[in-house]
Amino acid sequence: MPPPCSACGPTCLPCSTGCSDAPLPAVEPVTAPRQPNQLRRWLLWAALVAVVCALVGTAMVLARRFQENRVQAQLDEETTALVSDIRAGLYRNIQTLQSLPNPLAQPDVWDSTAADMLLQRREMVSLAWHNLAFAPKIERVSPYMVGSGHIRSAADRLPDIALACTSARRLSGAVYAPSHFRHFGDGQGMELMEMCLPSLYQGNLVGYLVVTYALPGMLTELTDRMAVRGRGVSLTELDGTRLAISSSRPGGQTFVTEQVLELPGHAMKLRLDSPRDRLDISQWGATALVAGMSALLLVLMIMLGRDMRRRQRAEWALAEALAFRKAMEDSLVTGLRARDLAGRITYVNPAFCQMVGLRAADLLGSGPPAPYWPPDLADEYQRRQAIRLAGQLLPKEGFESVFRRPDGTCFPVLIIEAPLIDADGTQTGWMSAILDLTEQHRIEAVSRASQDRLQATARLASVGEMASLLSHELNQPLSAISSYATGAMNLLTHAHDTDQATQLADVAGAMTHIRAQADRAARVIRSVGDFVRRKQQPGELAREQVSAPQLFQAILPLLTLQASREHIHIELDTPPDCPDTLCDRTMVEQVLLNLARNGMQAMADGHPAATSGLRTLTLSAHLQTTPEGKKQVAFAVTDHGAGLPDEVVANLFTPFFTTKAEGMGLGLSLCRTVIEQHGGTLTHTPAQPFGTTFRFTLPAAHP
């Protein structure tokens, strides 16, 4: 061995010192120690592998335990179901036994019925009827039992049977005696159990029905065969002593579950054995499981990232929708208000705050009475809200109310409310839309004032048209007054030629005629003046109770002027049973006057009425009852003119439409408006043999 070099020492290796006095082939290789960082890296990998192995092992153990627990839980459920099946089968047997005839009254029938029952119920080995002394009187053995003589009642079982029957008599129901093993000989035997059921005849206890059950038969006949296939099912004592078994126990490892079968007078356990399946997971299976879990984790991370992106897009869309809804609610002129079921305000929009003059912070959370309620109406609003919150139906068209601002000014509003339903379909409160009706009421007042002015203008136009007729009508009473006055002057001038008494009588008669003619002229002038002067206040309907004859007599002096000139006869038709009507007298008189004058103008010269001689204008009124039982007064104005052409009927009630050269076209339009304001309708139909009848209805006044 060559000597070591002076630079490297005895453990010389090829190094960077450049030593040349130790040739390479003569140097012995020596293992150098690992670097600390490399060792730490290996330790970390080893720890990671150990952790992974531990996780895989833990997963396998947990999977095994989970499978075992699941199988055990399923087995427990099946055992409970088997116990329930046995109880149900025994209960059905009891119901069938109670339907057996009484053996004392019908022994043959009882015997045949018992034989049929034993033929159908394989779990029963015998049926016996005992008297009150517990001695068997009638007994029938199942035909499926070989060596039936061994099944009949044994004297050693009478004490247990008597004890069970005593308990059954006390409980008024079936009681089971403890099970016992009965030897049949030749090493054969079976576990049996008696059940005692009281036997009644005409409501009195006459004996006991004793049924002997075979425990193996109970397992095979009263359980589900599919549930126990490939499993071991058995009945044991409470201490675990096996009484009966239906099938052999499976070999190897098994799952075992027990359930107590409690019967009146006796209790047992039902045991179910199920084979334990092996959980064989090989090395490659574990690797595949880990790889699959890793791939699944990667897929889950990708899906989670995609879900987060979708969530971000959904949140962005939701934020935009909320911003749009907020901008839309802020731009509304309709007030929005939300309240919970207790009546507290949960939401208001800026329009509502501006409407009531309060901030949202002052309104949110406030309950009844609300800060915008007028103090004098708070009690009424409180009652109305209590009715609404009780769940009663609200009108779809809304209702009007009055709100109050902090400065004390009140303004009318229209409130439309609807239930507030959440995403689950549960009502959480009420949503209200509030409209300020101040401007609408102002426009309606202006409209009513304009309509009143139009009606006054129409009356003045009617009076203007009748001015020429007044002169003709007043000439007659004035001429008569002049004649009577001249005669009276003549009588006074020639007073010496006649007797004084006769003279005074003649003068008195002349003065009477003068006064009558003066009154006639005054009535004509007064009727026209009253018709022009009478008018209603803007926005008011001066309703009063008026009879139909009073309405006709009010316009009759005005109609007589035109009727006498046109040689038209006016007829009034009002039956005695016609009730009074509740209406605005001036407006209804104007309607009747317009319709009557139109009818007389339709019967002018050149129309069929002029040649036929049928120149009659009929004004009638009679009682009418609606289908709802309401009473009305139906008015009719009938003329016998030329009738209405089709082109006129289409535009009859159109404002400013007229067929008269001097007409304004507002008469029939105003008439229909007046009748509709009173809640009636204005219609027209052809009259017979010719002409037109205009009809309208007014509400009857309550007596």
Ranges of H-type helices in 584-666 = 585-602, 608-612, 646-650
Q: Name the token pair of 224.
A: 């589900």
**Nearest-CA neighbor of 232 among 250, 255, 214?**
250
Calculate ∠ Cα 151-153-158, nearest 5°. 145
Taking CA atoms, 8 is separated from 14, 24, 33, 111, 505, in Å, by 9, 13, 17, 118, 183
In angstroms, the CA 460 to CA 455 distance is 9
Q: Report yes or no: 519 and 500 within 8 Å, Cβ to Cβ.
A: no
Q: What are phi and psi of 165, to 5 degrees?
A: -65, -35
Query: What DSSP assignment string belongs to 334-356?
Result: SEEEEEETTS-EEEE-HHHHHHH
pLDDT means per 10 residues, the chain with 703 residues, are 43 40 40 50 59 66 74 85 89 88 82 87 88 77 67 70 88 89 76 89 84 88 79 85 74 78 89 70 57 70 78 88 83 83 85 86 83 83 74 66 87 85 82 85 83 70 56 59 72 65 72 71 62 49 81 80 78 88 81 85 63 75 86 90 74 65 63 82 84 89 74
Q: What is the maximum alpha-carbon separation in the chain?
A: 206
In angstroms, the CA 465 to CA 460 distance is 9
Burial of 301 (0-12, 13-18, 19+ CB in 10 A): exposed
In angstroms, the CA 542 to CA 455 distance is 15
Q: 3-state class of 463 per DSSP?
A: helix
Buried b (16+ CB within 10 A) or exposed e, 332-349: eeebbbbbbeebebbbbb
Half-sphere CA count of 46, side-chain side, radius 13 A: 6
Locate tokens 């499978």: which residue? 67
Q: Report yes or no: 609 and 615 within 8 Å, Cβ to Cβ.
A: yes
Kindly state the helix (H) or strand (E) to which residue 418 belongs, with its residue range: strand 410-421
Residue type at 127 in one-letter notation = L
- Summarize the chain as % helix, strand, coil (round to 5): 50, 25, 30
State the pLDDT at residue 536.
44
In angstroms, the CA 165 to CA 153 distance is 15
Please provide the distance, in angstroms rounded to a whole number, between the alpha carbons at the two ends of the chain. 150
Rg (CA), the chain: 58
Query: Model pTM?
Result: 0.37
Q: Report yes or no: 62 and 42 within 8 Å, Cβ to Cβ.
A: no
**Nearest-CA neighbor of 343 among 321, 368, 323, 319?**
368
Buried b (16+ CB within 10 A) or exposed e, 281-293: eeeeeeeeeeeee
Q: Report yes or no: 697 and 681 within 8 Å, Cβ to Cβ.
A: yes
State the pLDDT at residue 11.
39
Topology annotation, domain 75-275: Beta-Lactamase (3.30.450)
State the pLDDT at residue 637.
92
Q: 3-state class of 594 per DSSP?
A: helix
The architecture (CATH level 2) of 541-703 comes to: 2-Layer Sandwich (3.30)
Number of C-beta neighbours around residue 579 at 10 A: 19
State the pLDDT at residue 31.
42
Calculate ∠ Cα 101-104-106, nearest 5°. 50
Q: Report yes or no: 243 and 191 within 8 Å, Cβ to Cβ.
A: yes
User: Hey, what long-range contacts does 237-244 have (CB within 8 A, 24 or more apart)?
Assistant: 237/268, 237/269, 238/267, 238/268, 238/269, 240/269, 243/179, 243/191, 243/215, 243/268, 244/190, 244/191, 244/214, 244/215, 244/216, 244/218, 244/219
Number of C-beta neighbours around residue 327 at 10 A: 9
Say if residue 689 is preceded by a cis peptide, omega within 30 of 0: yes
State the pLDDT at residue 635.
93
Number of C-beta neighbours around residue 660 at 10 A: 10
In angstroms, the CA 627 to CA 97 distance is 70
Half-sphere CA count of 377, side-chain side, radius 13 A: 13
In angstroms, the CA 163 to CA 177 distance is 8
CATH homologous superfamily for 332-436? PAS domain (3.30.450.20)
Kindly state the helix (H) or strand (E) to which residue 140 belongs, with its residue range: strand 136-141
The domain ranges of the chain are 75-275, 332-436, 455-540, 541-703
Domains 75-275 and 332-436 share a fold: yes
Q: Report yes or no: 353 and 311 within 8 Å, Cβ to Cβ.
A: no
